[in-house]
Structure 1
Amino acid sequence: MSSTILNYAKRLRSIAHLGLTYANNEYDTDRYRELEQISLEMMNMATGLPSDQLAGYFSAAKEYITPKVDIRAVIFDHKNEILLVKEKADGKWSLPGGWADIGQSPTEAAVKEALEETGFNVKPIKLLAVLDKRCHPHPPQLDYVYKIFIQCEITSGEYNQAFDILDMGFFKQDDLPELSEDRVLAGQIDLMFEYLNDPEKQALID
Protein backbone atom coordinates (compact mmCIF):
# COMPACT_ATOMS: atom_id res chain seq x y z
CA MET A 1 0.00 0.00 0.00
CA SER A 2 2.80 2.45 0.87
CA SER A 3 4.53 1.93 -2.48
CA THR A 4 1.22 2.48 -4.32
CA ILE A 5 0.60 5.72 -2.44
CA LEU A 6 4.17 6.85 -3.12
CA ASN A 7 3.83 6.18 -6.86
CA TYR A 8 0.60 8.17 -7.02
CA ALA A 9 2.22 10.96 -5.01
CA LYS A 10 5.17 11.14 -7.41
CA ARG A 11 2.76 11.39 -10.34
CA LEU A 12 0.83 14.18 -8.61
CA ARG A 13 4.09 15.98 -7.84
CA SER A 14 5.07 15.77 -11.51
CA ILE A 15 1.69 17.15 -12.64
CA ALA A 16 1.93 19.96 -10.10
CA HIS A 17 5.44 20.84 -11.27
CA LEU A 18 4.34 20.99 -14.92
CA GLY A 19 1.30 23.03 -13.98
CA LEU A 20 3.39 25.56 -12.05
CA THR A 21 5.84 25.75 -14.95
CA TYR A 22 3.17 26.60 -17.52
CA ALA A 23 0.40 28.24 -15.47
CA ASN A 24 -0.48 31.70 -16.76
CA ASN A 25 -2.81 32.98 -14.06
CA GLU A 26 -2.92 33.12 -10.25
CA TYR A 27 -5.93 30.81 -10.02
CA ASP A 28 -4.11 27.94 -11.77
CA THR A 29 -0.95 28.63 -9.80
CA ASP A 30 -2.83 28.35 -6.50
CA ARG A 31 -4.47 25.06 -7.57
CA TYR A 32 -1.16 23.52 -8.62
CA ARG A 33 0.52 24.61 -5.38
CA GLU A 34 -2.32 22.93 -3.50
CA LEU A 35 -1.80 19.79 -5.56
CA GLU A 36 1.91 19.96 -4.82
CA GLN A 37 1.19 20.15 -1.08
CA ILE A 38 -1.19 17.18 -1.29
CA SER A 39 1.50 15.15 -3.03
CA LEU A 40 3.97 15.95 -0.22
CA GLU A 41 1.43 14.90 2.41
CA MET A 42 0.89 11.61 0.56
CA MET A 43 4.65 11.05 0.42
CA ASN A 44 4.81 11.71 4.16
CA MET A 45 2.13 9.05 4.69
CA ALA A 46 4.06 6.56 2.57
CA THR A 47 7.58 7.19 3.85
CA GLY A 48 7.28 8.80 7.28
CA LEU A 49 9.70 11.53 6.20
CA PRO A 50 8.77 15.09 7.25
CA SER A 51 7.18 17.29 4.58
CA ASP A 52 9.94 19.92 4.74
CA GLN A 53 12.57 17.26 4.01
CA LEU A 54 10.50 15.93 1.10
CA ALA A 55 10.00 19.45 -0.25
CA GLY A 56 13.76 19.99 -0.19
CA TYR A 57 14.35 16.73 -2.02
CA PHE A 58 12.05 17.80 -4.84
CA SER A 59 13.31 21.39 -5.05
CA ALA A 60 14.89 22.74 -8.22
CA ALA A 61 18.39 22.29 -6.81
CA LYS A 62 18.90 18.52 -6.93
CA GLU A 63 22.01 16.77 -5.70
CA TYR A 64 22.27 14.58 -8.79
CA ILE A 65 21.09 15.75 -12.21
CA THR A 66 20.08 13.04 -14.69
CA PRO A 67 19.20 13.14 -18.42
CA LYS A 68 15.68 13.86 -19.60
CA VAL A 69 13.99 11.16 -21.71
CA ASP A 70 12.34 11.91 -25.05
CA ILE A 71 10.02 9.14 -26.32
CA ARG A 72 9.15 8.88 -30.03
CA ALA A 73 6.53 6.57 -31.58
CA VAL A 74 7.56 5.15 -34.96
CA ILE A 75 4.48 4.25 -37.00
CA PHE A 76 4.32 2.98 -40.59
CA ASP A 77 1.23 2.45 -42.72
CA HIS A 78 0.47 -0.31 -45.24
CA LYS A 79 2.24 1.71 -47.95
CA ASN A 80 5.47 1.75 -45.91
CA GLU A 81 5.16 5.46 -45.23
CA ILE A 82 6.08 6.95 -41.86
CA LEU A 83 3.71 8.98 -39.69
CA LEU A 84 4.83 12.52 -38.87
CA VAL A 85 3.11 15.37 -37.05
CA LYS A 86 3.51 19.09 -37.65
CA GLU A 87 4.54 20.86 -34.46
CA LYS A 88 2.79 24.11 -33.57
CA ALA A 89 5.94 25.26 -31.75
CA ASP A 90 8.00 25.71 -34.92
CA GLY A 91 5.74 24.69 -37.83
CA LYS A 92 7.99 21.75 -38.69
CA TRP A 93 7.52 17.98 -38.63
CA SER A 94 8.49 15.26 -36.19
CA LEU A 95 7.66 11.76 -35.04
CA PRO A 96 4.82 11.77 -32.48
CA GLY A 97 6.25 11.97 -28.99
CA GLY A 98 7.59 14.08 -26.18
CA TRP A 99 9.01 13.99 -22.67
CA ALA A 100 8.44 10.85 -20.63
CA ASP A 101 6.19 11.44 -17.62
CA ILE A 102 6.76 10.21 -14.08
CA GLY A 103 4.79 7.01 -13.50
CA GLN A 104 4.81 5.84 -17.12
CA SER A 105 6.95 3.19 -18.75
CA PRO A 106 8.56 4.06 -22.12
CA THR A 107 5.94 2.05 -24.03
CA GLU A 108 3.10 3.65 -22.06
CA ALA A 109 4.53 7.08 -22.91
CA ALA A 110 4.72 6.18 -26.62
CA VAL A 111 1.10 5.01 -26.62
CA LYS A 112 -0.05 8.14 -24.77
CA GLU A 113 1.85 10.56 -27.01
CA ALA A 114 0.61 8.87 -30.19
CA LEU A 115 -3.00 9.06 -29.02
CA GLU A 116 -2.76 12.68 -27.86
CA GLU A 117 -1.01 13.94 -30.99
CA THR A 118 -2.79 11.89 -33.68
CA GLY A 119 -6.00 10.37 -32.29
CA PHE A 120 -4.77 6.85 -33.08
CA ASN A 121 -4.68 4.03 -30.58
CA VAL A 122 -1.43 2.14 -31.03
CA LYS A 123 0.30 -0.87 -29.54
CA PRO A 124 4.07 -0.97 -29.05
CA ILE A 125 5.90 -3.56 -31.16
CA LYS A 126 9.58 -3.22 -30.31
CA LEU A 127 12.38 -0.94 -29.23
CA LEU A 128 14.32 0.42 -32.21
CA ALA A 129 16.89 2.79 -30.75
CA VAL A 130 18.11 4.59 -27.65
CA LEU A 131 20.17 7.58 -28.72
CA ASP A 132 22.22 10.10 -26.76
CA LYS A 133 21.18 13.41 -28.29
CA ARG A 134 24.71 14.73 -27.77
CA CYS A 135 26.00 12.23 -30.33
CA HIS A 136 23.80 13.56 -33.13
CA PRO A 137 23.76 16.96 -34.89
CA HIS A 138 20.68 18.42 -33.22
CA PRO A 139 20.60 22.17 -32.51
CA PRO A 140 22.21 23.06 -29.15
CA GLN A 141 19.98 22.52 -26.11
CA LEU A 142 20.47 23.07 -22.38
CA ASP A 143 18.96 19.74 -21.34
CA TYR A 144 20.93 16.52 -21.65
CA VAL A 145 18.59 14.11 -23.43
CA TYR A 146 18.23 10.42 -24.21
CA LYS A 147 15.92 9.70 -27.14
CA ILE A 148 13.97 6.42 -27.25
CA PHE A 149 12.36 5.27 -30.50
CA ILE A 150 9.63 2.63 -30.20
CA GLN A 151 7.93 1.05 -33.20
CA CYS A 152 4.15 1.04 -32.80
CA GLU A 153 1.20 -0.28 -34.80
CA ILE A 154 -2.15 1.47 -35.22
CA THR A 155 -5.04 -0.56 -33.82
CA SER A 156 -7.92 1.92 -34.09
CA GLY A 157 -8.90 5.57 -34.07
CA GLU A 158 -8.84 8.44 -36.51
CA TYR A 159 -6.95 11.69 -36.81
CA ASN A 160 -7.89 14.19 -34.11
CA GLN A 161 -5.85 17.38 -34.04
CA ALA A 162 -4.15 18.13 -30.73
CA PHE A 163 -3.68 21.61 -29.27
CA ASP A 164 0.06 21.60 -30.00
CA ILE A 165 -0.11 19.84 -33.39
CA LEU A 166 -1.04 21.57 -36.65
CA ASP A 167 -1.29 18.59 -38.98
CA MET A 168 -0.43 14.94 -39.50
CA GLY A 169 0.58 12.85 -42.51
CA PHE A 170 2.32 9.73 -43.80
CA PHE A 171 5.47 10.32 -45.86
CA LYS A 172 7.80 8.35 -48.09
CA GLN A 173 11.44 8.14 -47.07
CA ASP A 174 12.56 10.19 -50.08
CA ASP A 175 9.82 12.81 -49.75
CA LEU A 176 10.02 14.10 -46.18
CA PRO A 177 8.75 17.56 -45.16
CA GLU A 178 10.93 20.04 -43.28
CA LEU A 179 11.82 18.37 -40.00
CA SER A 180 11.86 19.87 -36.53
CA GLU A 181 15.51 19.06 -35.96
CA ASP A 182 15.36 19.70 -32.23
CA ARG A 183 13.08 16.64 -32.13
CA VAL A 184 14.21 14.39 -34.99
CA LEU A 185 16.80 14.34 -37.77
CA ALA A 186 16.58 13.05 -41.32
CA GLY A 187 19.27 10.50 -40.50
CA GLN A 188 17.15 9.20 -37.65
CA ILE A 189 14.15 8.85 -39.96
CA ASP A 190 16.40 6.92 -42.37
CA LEU A 191 17.38 4.68 -39.46
CA MET A 192 13.71 3.96 -38.74
CA PHE A 193 13.23 2.87 -42.35
CA GLU A 194 16.19 0.51 -41.95
CA TYR A 195 14.20 -1.30 -39.26
CA LEU A 196 11.17 -1.41 -41.55
CA ASN A 197 13.24 -2.99 -44.32
CA ASP A 198 15.15 -5.32 -42.01
CA PRO A 199 12.93 -6.59 -39.14
CA GLU A 200 15.89 -8.56 -37.74
CA LYS A 201 18.05 -5.46 -37.29
CA GLN A 202 19.17 -5.11 -33.68
CA ALA A 203 18.22 -2.09 -31.59
CA LEU A 204 20.80 0.70 -31.73
CA ILE A 205 22.15 2.14 -28.49
CA ASP A 206 24.60 5.04 -28.57
Structure 2
Amino acid sequence: MITEPNWLRWAKQLAALAQNGLTFSDNPYDIERYEHLREIAAEMMAEGFDLDRKSFLDLFAREEGYATPKVDVRGAAFRDGKILLVREALDGGWTLPGGWADPCQSPSEAVVREIFEESGFEARVRKLAAVYDRSRHPHLPAIPFHIYKLFFLCEITGGVAAESHETTGVAFFAENEIPHNLSISRTLPFQIARMFDHLRHPALPTDCD
Protein backbone atom coordinates (compact mmCIF):
# COMPACT_ATOMS: atom_id res chain seq x y z
CA MET A 1 0.00 0.00 0.00
CA ILE A 2 1.44 3.36 -1.07
CA THR A 3 1.25 5.90 1.77
CA GLU A 4 2.81 8.95 0.10
CA PRO A 5 0.55 11.47 -1.71
CA ASN A 6 -0.26 10.89 -5.37
CA TRP A 7 1.27 14.19 -6.48
CA LEU A 8 4.64 13.14 -5.06
CA ARG A 9 4.51 9.69 -6.64
CA TRP A 10 3.60 11.18 -10.02
CA ALA A 11 6.31 13.84 -9.75
CA LYS A 12 8.95 11.23 -8.91
CA GLN A 13 7.85 9.10 -11.86
CA LEU A 14 8.02 12.08 -14.21
CA ALA A 15 11.46 13.04 -12.90
CA ALA A 16 12.72 9.49 -13.44
CA LEU A 17 11.29 9.37 -16.98
CA ALA A 18 12.96 12.69 -17.75
CA GLN A 19 16.30 11.58 -16.32
CA ASN A 20 16.25 8.29 -18.25
CA GLY A 21 15.24 10.08 -21.45
CA LEU A 22 18.02 12.65 -21.11
CA THR A 23 20.50 9.83 -20.45
CA PHE A 24 19.73 7.82 -23.57
CA SER A 25 18.36 10.32 -26.12
CA ASP A 26 20.47 11.93 -28.87
CA ASN A 27 17.59 13.61 -30.68
CA PRO A 28 17.55 17.34 -29.85
CA TYR A 29 13.76 17.46 -30.02
CA ASP A 30 13.43 14.56 -27.61
CA ILE A 31 15.98 16.17 -25.30
CA GLU A 32 13.90 19.34 -25.30
CA ARG A 33 10.77 17.32 -24.43
CA TYR A 34 12.52 15.49 -21.57
CA GLU A 35 13.85 18.77 -20.19
CA HIS A 36 10.31 20.13 -20.26
CA LEU A 37 9.09 16.97 -18.51
CA ARG A 38 11.70 17.55 -15.80
CA GLU A 39 10.49 21.13 -15.40
CA ILE A 40 6.93 19.87 -14.89
CA ALA A 41 8.16 17.44 -12.21
CA ALA A 42 10.01 20.30 -10.50
CA GLU A 43 6.91 22.49 -10.57
CA MET A 44 4.82 19.70 -9.04
CA MET A 45 7.33 19.18 -6.24
CA ALA A 46 7.72 22.91 -5.65
CA GLU A 47 3.95 23.21 -5.29
CA GLY A 48 3.67 20.15 -3.05
CA PHE A 49 6.60 21.00 -0.78
CA ASP A 50 5.98 24.76 -0.90
CA LEU A 51 9.56 25.39 -1.97
CA ASP A 52 11.28 27.16 -4.84
CA ARG A 53 11.04 25.45 -8.24
CA LYS A 54 14.70 26.11 -8.98
CA SER A 55 15.80 24.09 -5.95
CA PHE A 56 14.19 20.99 -7.47
CA LEU A 57 15.57 21.67 -10.94
CA ASP A 58 19.04 21.90 -9.40
CA LEU A 59 18.36 18.69 -7.47
CA PHE A 60 17.30 16.83 -10.61
CA ALA A 61 20.26 18.18 -12.60
CA ARG A 62 22.67 16.52 -10.15
CA GLU A 63 21.10 13.12 -10.85
CA GLU A 64 22.73 11.46 -13.84
CA GLY A 65 22.43 8.11 -15.57
CA TYR A 66 19.56 5.66 -15.29
CA ALA A 67 17.25 6.62 -12.41
CA THR A 68 17.21 4.06 -9.59
CA PRO A 69 16.02 4.10 -5.95
CA LYS A 70 18.43 5.32 -3.29
CA VAL A 71 19.46 2.91 -0.52
CA ASP A 72 19.20 3.69 3.20
CA VAL A 73 20.72 1.21 5.67
CA ARG A 74 19.64 0.82 9.33
CA GLY A 75 21.34 -1.26 11.99
CA ALA A 76 19.33 -2.99 14.72
CA ALA A 77 22.26 -3.61 17.05
CA PHE A 78 21.54 -5.48 20.28
CA ARG A 79 23.38 -5.91 23.56
CA ASP A 80 21.93 -7.94 26.44
CA GLY A 81 18.54 -7.98 24.74
CA LYS A 82 18.38 -4.19 24.37
CA ILE A 83 18.44 -2.28 21.10
CA LEU A 84 20.80 0.57 20.28
CA LEU A 85 19.19 3.88 19.35
CA VAL A 86 20.74 7.26 18.61
CA ARG A 87 19.16 10.70 18.92
CA GLU A 88 19.31 12.69 15.70
CA ALA A 89 20.72 16.19 15.96
CA LEU A 90 18.50 17.40 13.10
CA ASP A 91 15.10 16.64 14.64
CA GLY A 92 15.81 15.45 18.20
CA GLY A 93 14.14 12.09 17.55
CA TRP A 94 15.52 8.64 18.35
CA THR A 95 16.28 6.21 15.56
CA LEU A 96 18.17 3.10 14.60
CA PRO A 97 21.63 4.25 13.51
CA GLY A 98 22.03 4.40 9.76
CA GLY A 99 22.06 6.51 6.62
CA TRP A 100 22.81 6.41 2.92
CA ALA A 101 24.81 3.50 1.58
CA ASP A 102 28.09 4.62 -0.01
CA PRO A 103 29.51 3.47 -3.35
CA CYS A 104 32.23 0.81 -3.16
CA GLN A 105 30.85 -0.53 0.13
CA SER A 106 28.63 -3.56 0.54
CA PRO A 107 25.35 -2.93 2.40
CA SER A 108 26.66 -4.74 5.48
CA GLU A 109 29.87 -2.68 5.43
CA ALA A 110 27.79 0.49 5.12
CA VAL A 111 25.61 -0.27 8.13
CA VAL A 112 28.58 -1.22 10.31
CA ARG A 113 30.21 2.10 9.35
CA GLU A 114 27.03 4.04 10.14
CA ILE A 115 26.66 2.37 13.54
CA PHE A 116 30.23 3.28 14.48
CA GLU A 117 30.03 6.84 13.14
CA GLU A 118 26.76 7.64 14.90
CA SER A 119 27.17 5.73 18.17
CA GLY A 120 30.83 4.84 18.73
CA PHE A 121 30.05 1.12 18.87
CA GLU A 122 31.59 -1.56 16.68
CA ALA A 123 29.15 -4.14 15.34
CA ARG A 124 28.85 -7.29 13.25
CA VAL A 125 25.95 -8.03 10.91
CA ARG A 126 24.04 -11.23 11.64
CA LYS A 127 21.29 -11.10 8.99
CA LEU A 128 19.33 -8.90 6.62
CA ALA A 129 16.06 -8.58 8.53
CA ALA A 130 13.97 -6.39 6.23
CA VAL A 131 13.87 -4.54 2.92
CA TYR A 132 11.19 -1.85 3.00
CA ASP A 133 10.00 0.58 0.34
CA ARG A 134 9.85 3.91 2.20
CA SER A 135 6.86 5.07 0.15
CA ARG A 136 4.80 2.13 1.46
CA HIS A 137 5.20 3.13 5.11
CA PRO A 138 4.10 6.27 7.01
CA HIS A 139 7.48 7.99 7.21
CA LEU A 140 7.32 11.77 7.53
CA PRO A 141 8.17 14.13 6.05
CA ALA A 142 7.82 13.09 2.43
CA ILE A 143 11.00 13.42 0.38
CA PRO A 144 11.57 13.77 -3.40
CA PHE A 145 13.41 10.47 -3.89
CA HIS A 146 12.34 6.84 -4.00
CA ILE A 147 14.14 4.93 -1.25
CA TYR A 148 14.70 1.31 -0.28
CA LYS A 149 15.40 0.87 3.43
CA LEU A 150 17.56 -2.12 4.44
CA PHE A 151 17.39 -3.21 8.08
CA PHE A 152 20.17 -5.42 9.44
CA LEU A 153 20.17 -7.40 12.67
CA CYS A 154 23.54 -6.78 14.32
CA GLU A 155 25.43 -7.53 17.50
CA ILE A 156 27.77 -5.18 19.36
CA THR A 157 31.39 -6.35 19.29
CA GLY A 158 33.22 -3.41 20.91
CA GLY A 159 33.53 0.33 21.27
CA VAL A 160 32.01 2.80 23.71
CA ALA A 161 29.09 5.21 23.44
CA ALA A 162 30.12 8.38 21.62
CA GLU A 163 27.97 11.11 20.13
CA SER A 164 28.84 12.56 16.74
CA HIS A 165 28.07 15.70 14.75
CA GLU A 166 24.90 13.87 13.63
CA THR A 167 23.76 12.58 17.04
CA THR A 168 23.11 14.04 20.48
CA GLY A 169 22.39 10.83 22.35
CA VAL A 170 23.35 7.14 22.38
CA ALA A 171 21.53 4.55 24.49
CA PHE A 172 20.23 0.98 24.68
CA PHE A 173 16.51 0.37 25.24
CA ALA A 174 14.46 -2.66 26.23
CA GLU A 175 11.43 -3.42 24.09
CA ASN A 176 9.08 -1.77 26.61
CA GLU A 177 11.30 1.29 26.95
CA ILE A 178 11.36 2.57 23.35
CA PRO A 179 11.09 6.40 23.35
CA HIS A 180 7.90 7.94 22.01
CA ASN A 181 9.78 10.72 20.22
CA LEU A 182 11.16 8.69 17.32
CA SER A 183 12.64 10.24 14.21
CA ILE A 184 9.90 8.82 12.01
CA SER A 185 11.56 10.03 8.84
CA ARG A 186 14.15 7.35 9.57
CA THR A 187 12.59 4.67 11.79
CA LEU A 188 9.01 3.73 12.65
CA PRO A 189 7.79 2.03 15.86
CA PHE A 190 6.68 -1.13 14.06
CA GLN A 191 10.11 -1.46 12.43
CA ILE A 192 11.82 -1.46 15.82
CA ALA A 193 9.26 -3.96 17.13
CA ARG A 194 9.94 -6.16 14.12
CA MET A 195 13.67 -6.13 14.87
CA PHE A 196 12.91 -7.55 18.34
CA ASP A 197 10.88 -10.28 16.58
CA HIS A 198 13.92 -11.14 14.47
CA LEU A 199 16.11 -11.19 17.57
CA ARG A 200 13.76 -13.67 19.29
CA HIS A 201 13.27 -15.78 16.17
CA PRO A 202 16.52 -15.86 14.15
CA ALA A 203 15.01 -18.20 11.55
CA LEU A 204 12.43 -15.62 10.45
CA PRO A 205 12.78 -14.87 6.73
CA THR A 206 13.69 -11.39 5.56
CA ASP A 207 10.69 -9.05 5.49
CA CYS A 208 10.11 -7.35 2.15
CA ASP A 209 7.46 -5.21 0.49
Fold conserved between structures, TM > 0.5: yes
- RMSD (Å), alpha carbons: 1.2
In structure 1, the residue matched to 2:109 is 108
Structure 1 runs, 4 residues or longer, greater than 3 Å off? none
Structure 1 CA distance for aligned equivalents of residues 205 and 131 of structure 2: 11
Cα 1:61/1:105, change in 2 over 3 Å: closer
Aligned residue type for 1:146: Y
**Which of 196, 199, 204 is 2:202 aligned to?**
199
Structure 2 CA distance for aligned equivalents of residues 144 and 132 of structure 1: 8
Structure 2 CA distance for aligned equivalents of residues 60 and 168 of structure 1: 34
CA deviation after TM superposition for structure 1 residue 71, in Å: 0.3
Say whether residues 1:180 and 2:192 are aligned partners. no
Q: Could you say what secondary structure the match of 2:177 adopts? A: coil
**Which of 139, 142, 145 is 2:144 aligned to?**
142
Q: Could you say what secondary structure the match of 1:174 adopts? A: helix
- TM-score normalised per structure 1: 0.69
In structure 2, stretches of 5+ residues that fail to align are 1-60
In structure 1, the residue matched to 2:118 is 117
Contact kept, 8 Å, 2:85 with 2:170, in 1: the verdict is yes
Aligned residue type for 2:197: E
CA deviation after TM superposition for structure 1 residue 61, in Å: 4.7
Structure 2 CA distance for aligned equivalents of residues 149 and 61 of structure 1: 25
In structure 1, stretches of 5+ residues that fail to align are 1-58
Q: Could you say what secondary structure the match of 2:175 adopts? A: coil
Q: Could you say what secondary structure the match of 1:180 adopts? A: coil
Where do residues 13-92 of structure 1 align in structure 2 (5 Å cutoff)? 60-78=62-80, 80-92=81-93
Aligned residue type for 1:196: L
Aligned residue type for 2:185: D
Residues 95-118 of structure 1, C-alpha deviations (whole Å, 9 max, x = no match): 010000111110000110011111
Structure 2 CA distance for aligned equivalents of residues 190 and 114 of structure 1: 19
Cα 1:110/1:61, change in 2 over 3 Å: closer
Structure 2 CA distance for aligned equivalents of residues 93 and 61 of structure 1: 30
Structure 2 CA distance for aligned equivalents of residues 62 and 120 of structure 1: 35
In structure 2, the residue matched to 1:4 is none
Structure 2 CA distance for aligned equivalents of residues 61 and 193 of structure 1: 37
Q: Could you say what secondary structure the match of 2:116 adopts? A: helix
Q: Could you say what secondary structure the match of 1:109 adopts? A: helix
In structure 2, the residue matched to 1:190 is 193
Contact kept, 8 Å, 2:163 with 2:169, in 1: the verdict is yes
Structure 2 CA distance for aligned equivalents of residues 157 and 61 of structure 1: 37
Residue-pair matches, total: 147
CA deviation after TM superposition for structure 1 residue 174, in Å: 2.2
Aligned residue type for 2:182: L
Say whether residues 1:157 and 2:159 are aligned partners. yes
Structure 2 CA distance for aligned equivalents of residues 71 and 117 of structure 1: 13
